[in-house]
Amino acid sequence: MTNAYRAVQWNRHKRSYDLVVGGAVVAMIAAFVGGSIAFAAPPDDVSPEILVIRALGATAGALLTVLLCIGPLARLDRRALPLLYNRRHLGVTTALLATGHGLLATVWYHGFGVVDPIVSLLSSGSEGPGVPFQPLGLAALLALLALASTSHDFWLHILGPVVWKRLHMLVYPAWLMMVAHVAFGAMQTDDAGVVPTLLGVAVASVCGLHLFAGARARAADAERAELRDGWLDAGLARELPDGGAVRVCQDPDHPIAVFRDGDAVSAIAGVCAHQGGPLAEGRLVDGCVTCPWHGYQYRPRDGQSPPPYTEKLHTHRVRIRDGRVEVDPRPQPPGTPLEPARISS
């Protein structure tokens, strides 16, 4: 979190993360090349150029799949939060690998004829049921480049959180196009069944994790969606985690985070102003609600970021009745100070 644009700062955690990512990329490329050489039949059919092209594409596809699994994993297990915190590094790495794959494939397969390479790529046929797989790969690559080039918070400020978030939801169409690119391309010439198996695991992992995390979140929301005299029931006051929060939700697009700090209970909007992070999954650090995604902070009593930061969130009135925490679903203007409810001893 910073109140000014700065060059990217690599702290110890980011250096460690990037070293692990770099090592994983090298290992995946080496494993792909080694496995292809070992199991190719006959070995003479495998050229070094094609191996490099395929290895870069396979590694980019694997990282993109991992990228989409990080979000639901972090919601299911807080130990995955460090991966979420550094997710943009992984996204840029994926875009670079995909760019290398695309450029080399374009030159190798389309760069030595009389037709313009891009025209040749867009008009190329398919390996299987009449679907041109190479344009699908190009579309996925263009989407990844758009996301990587706008990943800095400068673009977040210029575009605004809502537009920026919608733009970066392109990662899902990009992944689907990548899956189709492989399904109608490399999978059609794989007689051993390795590509279909790996692609099936990737699709099952992404879809399964998202469905499971979403179902659990909906079940938790349903438990805290009951209205009592127009107020949302957030559960027993004594069961609120001290220093943590619960999420209450009448409208899925506008969740509310209810935090307990000792005997004080406050409620603010549940979506971080930075990138829409889930504040109810964060904790109180130095008296401030701290977003689990990138560490943005807000005071629970007024929804304002501590100086010199200027972000503000809606606040919500809270009361305790019959030992239960109740939240007014009607938001107060951003930054409105409200007295917390007190848990009686």
CATH code of the domain in which 289 resides: 2.102.10.10
Mean pLDDT across the chain = 87
Q: Rounded distance, CA 181 to CA 107, Å?
A: 18
Using one digit for the tens of pLDDT, what is the confidence trace for 124-137? 765 556 678 899 99
Q: Check if the beta carbon of residue 319 is closer than 8 Å to that of residue 341.
A: yes
Q: Hey, which of 66-80, 197-211, 263-277 has the most confident mean pLDDT?
A: 197-211
Q: Please state the rounded mean pLDDT for residues 221-234.
A: 76
In a domain, 87, yes or no: yes
Same domain? 265 vs 146: no
pLDDT for 153 equals 79
Residue 23 pLDDT greater than 90, yes or no: yes
Q: Check if the beta carbon of residue 133 is closer than 8 Å to that of residue 127.
A: yes
Angle at 149 between CA 63 and CA 181, to 5 degrees: 45
Same domain? 194 vs 238: no
Task: For residue 284, list its beta bridge partners.
Answer: 289
Backbone angles phi, psi at 327, to 5 degrees: -125, 130
In a domain, 7, yes or no: no
Of 189, 219, 249, which residue sits at a domain end?
A: 219
| More confident call, 113 vs 286 | 286
Same domain? 206 vs 267: no
pLDDT for 75 equals 84
- The number of folded domains in the chain is 2
Same domain? 275 vs 199: no
Backbone angles phi, psi at 286, to 5 degrees: 55, 35
Q: How many CB atoms lie within 10 A of CB 318?
A: 26
Residue with tokens 């560490």: 295
Same domain? 197 vs 334: no
In a domain, 293, yes or no: yes
Give the pLDDT band of residue 140 (cuts 50, 70, 90).
very high
pLDDT for 190 equals 81
Q: Check if the beta carbon of residue 68 is closer than 8 Å to that of residue 202.
A: no
Q: Please state the rounded mean pLDDT for residues 270-293.
A: 89
pLDDT for 74 equals 85
Of 172, 201, 219, which residue sits at a domain end?
A: 219
Same domain? 164 vs 238: no
Give the pLDDT band of residue 69 (cuts 50, 70, 90).
very high
* DSSP H or E stretch at residue 64: helix 48-76
In a domain, 108, yes or no: yes
In a domain, 4, yes or no: no
48 burial (CB, 10 Å; 0-12 / 13-18 / 19+) is exposed
Backbone angles phi, psi at 341, to 5 degrees: -75, 150
Give the range among 33-42, 87-96, 100-109, 198-207 with minimum mean pLDDT.
Answer: 33-42
Q: Check if the beta carbon of residue 230 is closer than 8 Å to that of residue 250.
A: no
Of 219, 249, 280, which residue sits at a domain end?
A: 219
Same domain? 88 vs 190: yes
Q: Check if the beta carbon of residue 186 is closer than 8 Å to that of residue 195.
A: yes
Same domain? 215 vs 233: no
Same domain? 49 vs 125: yes
Q: Rounded distance, CA 148 to CA 90, Å?
A: 10
Angle at 297 between CA 273 and CA 323, to 5 degrees: 100
pLDDT for 317 equals 95
In a domain, 33, yes or no: yes
Same domain? 125 vs 178: yes
Backbone angles phi, psi at 224, to 5 degrees: -120, 30
Q: Please state the rounded mean pLDDT for residues 39-51.
A: 70
Q: Rounded distance, CA 254 to CA 330, Å?
A: 11
What range defines the domain where residue 104 resides?
12-219
pLDDT for 126 equals 57
pLDDT for 308 equals 87
Same domain? 256 vs 172: no
Same domain? 300 vs 199: no
In a domain, 67, yes or no: yes
pLDDT for 183 equals 92
Phi-psi region of 338 (alpha: psi -120 to 50; beta: other; left: phi over 0): beta
139 burial (CB, 10 Å; 0-12 / 13-18 / 19+) is middle
Using one digit for the tens of pLDDT, what is the confidence trace for 145-170? 999 999 887 888 888 888 888 899 99
Residue 303 pLDDT greater than 60, yes or no: yes
Tokens of 185: 């391309």
Q: What percent of the chain has pLDDT over 90?
A: 47
pLDDT for 224 equals 66
Task: For residue 320, list its beta bridge partners.
Answer: 325
Residue 202 pLDDT greater than 70, yes or no: yes
Q: Rounded distance, CA 204 to CA 202, Å?
A: 6
pLDDT for 92 equals 93
Q: Please state the rounded mean pLDDT for residues 282-306.
A: 91
pLDDT for 165 equals 86
